[in-house]
Chain A
Amino acid sequence: MEDTPKRSRTNSGNAFIRWLLIGFALVFLAVFLVTPLLTVFVEAFAKGWGAYKTAIVEPDALSSIYLTLMAAAVAVPVNTMFGIAAAWSITKFDFIGKNVLVTLLDLPFAVSPIISGLIFVLMFGAQGWIGPWLAEHDIRIIFAVPGIILATMFVTVPFVARELIPHMQAQGREEEEAALVLGATGLQTFFRVTLPNIRWSLMYGIILCTARAMGEFGAVAVVSGHIRGQTNTIPLHVEILYNEYNFVGAFAVASLLTLMAIVTLALKKFVEWKISE
């Protein structure tokens, strides 16, 4: 639609105050955000490239990487499907209780990670609801891989939906209605009309979901049992190495996640740029 461009007000006013404020802001960010970022890499390479490499290819480290990727590989696609369904339901229709649903969507955000893990222990743990039944059938969820996957799924439920909903709401329903009158089925409408319009928000939601899935700590710590080589994700492995005072090892493995975080941020900027086009 024709929009009059907003006049830019950047850099108006007193130059001295401006640079003072910029200075303060940059110093603050440098102290609080940049130094932790740098620390990870400095400590990781404190004993050189060799020690770094060893820490990463160590079997327990590798299995933690594998487990992390597996948890993400389950949680992310499932929560993406959920996110799309939820966003479609919320933005294309009106129904009673819709606002309640939207609020409920934020629940995993509001819950402490420890509690996110606790709830699964309460359900599937040895003393849990179906714990005894599971024990009978020799199915291990808590202190085993399935529990980690469940906890990861729980904490990442809202990510894709929360990215899609505002975007889809802003785009309205008219294009879908037009497709409908032209004879398109529901699936055709979704894939040909809706999806191309939301692809960048969707991508960013998936990226955030993946980052959180790989980095989740509290919830997974509760359900994992910390069994080295079996039920440790990368963050848990970092914790173990750190508690053993193996700082180089801990930071080396942590650097992998940090790299992932940096890639996430770069992708976010890319997606923002694409959306604004």
Chain B
Amino acid sequence: MSIEIQGVSKRFGTFEALKNVSLSVGDAELVALLGPSGSGKTTLLRIIAGLDTPDSGSILLNGEDATNRGAGDRGVGFVFQHYALFRHMTVMENVAFGLRIQPKNIRKSKEDIRDRVMTLLKLVQLDWVAKRYPTQLSGGQRQRIALARALAVEPKVLLLDEPFGALDARVRRELRTWLRRLHDEINVSCVFVTHDQEEALEVSDRVAILDAGRIEQVGTPQSVYDNPANPFVFSFLGNVNLFHGRVKEGKATIGDFEVDAPEHRNASDSPAVGYSRPHEMEISRERNGNDSLSVVILQIQAVGPNVKLRLKRTENEDVLEAEITREKLRELDLKTGEAVFVKPRLVRVFIADPSETPLNYQI
């Protein structure tokens, strides 16, 4: 089922949760709504589900206006952040609930219901806890039961609200892969909300990034990461180094080096900010061209397979972060306090908007 969100706005009291948001979700697509707390992503999800009503705008499900349809009439399945399993029912009864309450004329027989429940439990690999109660299950198990329960009524869309938020890191990673595989298997449109960019980029077909009630960018994980539309997206999807400078007619001058910025070829002399990722910083012991920066190593920290370097520019007080491999560290034999050179391989230049609140996403 396709979902069309058109111009949806929602406010709670004086707080504007969503400001004129529009988005399309295709049939059988897995879309992530990504953003920080308060960005409106959960509100948007609930509006799609019918658990909240928008102040303006509409929701179309398969081309039909569903804005005024009740939550039970939309053919959606919803998985809550804290599972919302019926605590006094067994796992079996939980999953069967949606089937048992259907009107008599479409309700399946008891045996059919039981078969369907067991099939679903096998799908989520929890057929062996059928007789247990939710309180007897772990968080990860409860989440999978919540999923099975939502799938039981054959929804055309699956909506998940921070499905792995309350779980341990390792369980979270396992369930992430598992959700992707499940989606590929059952081919239902999925929209899930998360604040974890790694999760969104890893699992989804497309990502919608929200901030303060607006959609900042929509695209495939690769495209939003490689071509962020604005500084917010850039910083939200990973660590950044900031360079303040100016841009004029296609060329950005950042401190003492120049960067080509063809997308701003029409810019008259404007203040600009350059963004660069830590792992795109090349470290060398000699100056390597006009865009090499002279730095001093403040701190070397090994984090798993990589090495994080904190560097301070000698020209000003800017602190940069670079990420290099262990081999590189050994090859250059770097030590704290040494003076080296760093060259950002890729700098994305954005015009600094003085009216925007200063962005300070540096680690």
Q: Give CA–CA (A175, B139) in the complex, Å.
A: 16
| A1 contacts across to B, CB distance below 8 A | 82
Q: Is the CB of B51 within 8 A of A180?
A: yes
Interface string of B92-130 (1 = CB under 8 A from A): 000001100110000000000000000000000000000
CB contact under 8 A between A184 and B72, given known A177-B51, A192-B101: yes
Q: Is the CB of B101 within 8 A of A178?
A: no
CB distance from A199 to the nearest CB of B (A): 9
Interface membership of A110, Cβ < 8 A: no
Q: Is the CB of A182 within 8 A of B84?
A: no
The segment out of B18-26, B73-81, B202-210, B291-299 that lies at the interface is B73-81
Interface membership of B149, Cβ < 8 A: yes
The size class of the interface chain A forms with chain B is 10 to 19
| A182 contacts across to B, CB distance below 8 A | 72, 77, 97-98, 101, 149-150, 152-153
CB contact under 8 A between A181 and B50, given known A2-B139, A192-B97: yes
Q: Is the CB of A177 within 8 A of B88?
A: no
| A2 contacts across to B, CB distance below 8 A | 139
Interface membership of B86, Cβ < 8 A: yes
| B102 contacts across to A, CB distance below 8 A | 183
| A193 contacts across to B, CB distance below 8 A | 86
CB contact under 8 A between A174 and B82, given known A180-B71, A197-B87: yes
Q: Is the CB of B77 within 8 A of A181?
A: yes
| B49 contacts across to A, CB distance below 8 A | 181
Q: Is the CB of A197 within 8 A of B88?
A: yes
Residue of B nearest to A176 (CB): B84
Q: Give CA–CA (A196, B101) in the complex, Å.
A: 16
Interface membership of A169, Cβ < 8 A: no
| A183 contacts across to B, CB distance below 8 A | 72-73, 98, 101-102, 153
Interface membership of A39, Cβ < 8 A: no
| B153 contacts across to A, CB distance below 8 A | 182-183
Interface residues of A in 239-261 (CB under 8 A from B): none
Residue of B nearest to A173 (CB): B84
CB distance from B166 to the nearest CB of A (A): 8
Interface string of A182-204 (1 = CB under 8 A from B): 11110010001100110000000
Q: Give CA–CA (A83, B49) in the complex, Å.
A: 31
Q: Is the CB of B101 within 8 A of A184?
A: yes
Q: Give CA–CA (A193, B84) in the complex, Å.
A: 11
CB distance from B133 to the nearest CB of A (A): 11
| A179 contacts across to B, CB distance below 8 A | 86, 97, 101
Q: Give CA–CA (A188, B82) in the complex, Å.
A: 22
| B72 contacts across to A, CB distance below 8 A | 180-185
Residue of B nearest to A171 (CB): B87
Q: Is the CB of B86 within 8 A of A175?
A: yes
Q: Give CA–CA (A197, B87) in the complex, Å.
A: 8
Q: Is the CB of B84 within 8 A of A174?
A: yes
Sample of 27 A–B contacts (CB below 8 Å): A2-B139, A174-B82, A175-B85, A175-B86, A177-B80, A178-B86, A179-B86, A180-B51, A180-B72, A181-B49, A181-B50, A181-B77, A182-B97, A182-B150, A183-B72, A183-B101, A183-B102, A183-B153, A184-B72, A184-B97, A185-B101, A192-B86, A192-B97, A192-B101, A193-B86, A196-B89, A197-B87
Report B's interface with A, CB cutoff 8 A: 49-51, 70-73, 76-78, 80, 82, 84-89, 97-98, 101-102, 139, 149-150, 152-153
Q: What are the 5 tightest A-B residue pairs by CB atom distance, in nearest-first order? A: A182-B98, A174-B84, A183-B72, A178-B84, A196-B88
